[in-house]
Amino acid sequence: MMGSGKNRDCAEPGVKTNLASVPGSAGRWLLLATGIIILDRLTKVLASQYLTLHEPQALFPSLNLTLVHNTGAAFSILGQAGGWQRWLFIFLATAVSLGIVVWLLKTPAERPWIACALALILGGAVGNLWDRVVSGYVVDFIDVFYGAWHWPAFNIADAAITVGAVMILYDSLKRDVST
């Protein structure tokens, strides 16, 4: 009810609500992670369908779309290891994702910055995990460069992981300064 003085964000006893609408719950953050996974999958499917492997397509100055199949980790670490790394990365991504879900579920409602960061990392980790399980490699396609120098190609999942990690680092530094 409008104007009843009741907090409209809290469910009344006996009233069913969906998980995403419960204040302070992990539901909305799990929805964000799911959105990252969907956006990552969609962009990777489009990149795989419309780009040719290793052939850059100029988008803007200093930004190409270039399809790359990355069998390694970040920056193609262990990319030439012979195949065993796929299973290592699948195991690590699964363990980290489960750990993040637990952390997310335990994150207090008063810490939405951390919950958002965890959701971004979770969505990115699962997005890249999907690729490794299904294809044996991660589809990368965003190619940022300056002159002849190119940053390693990346994808939406990588960007989400990076933003989430920076958010956690910022929060940690901010908390250290304020204590």
Active site residue 158: yes
Task: State the DSSP code for 108.
Answer: -
Active site residue 140: yes
Q: In the structure encoding, which two tokens stand for residue 10, read together?
A: 């809290």
Give mean pLDDT in consecutive 10-residue pieces for the chain, a chain of 179 residues.
41 47 71 98 98 97 96 68 79 96 93 96 98 95 96 96 97 81
Q: At residue 150, what are phi and psi to the nearest 5 degrees? A: -120, 130
Q: Which of 131, 158, 171, 176 is catalytic?
A: 158
Q: Which of 40, 131, 140, 143 is catalytic?
A: 140
| pLDDT value of position 18 | 54
Give the domain ranges of the chain: 109-179
Q: In the structure encoding, which two tokens stand for residue 53, read together?
A: 């492997």
Residue 83's region, left for phi above 0, alpha for psi from -120 to 50, else beta, is: left
* pTM for the whole structure: 0.82
Rounded CA separation 23/109 (Å):
7
Residue carrying structure tokens 């609500």: 17
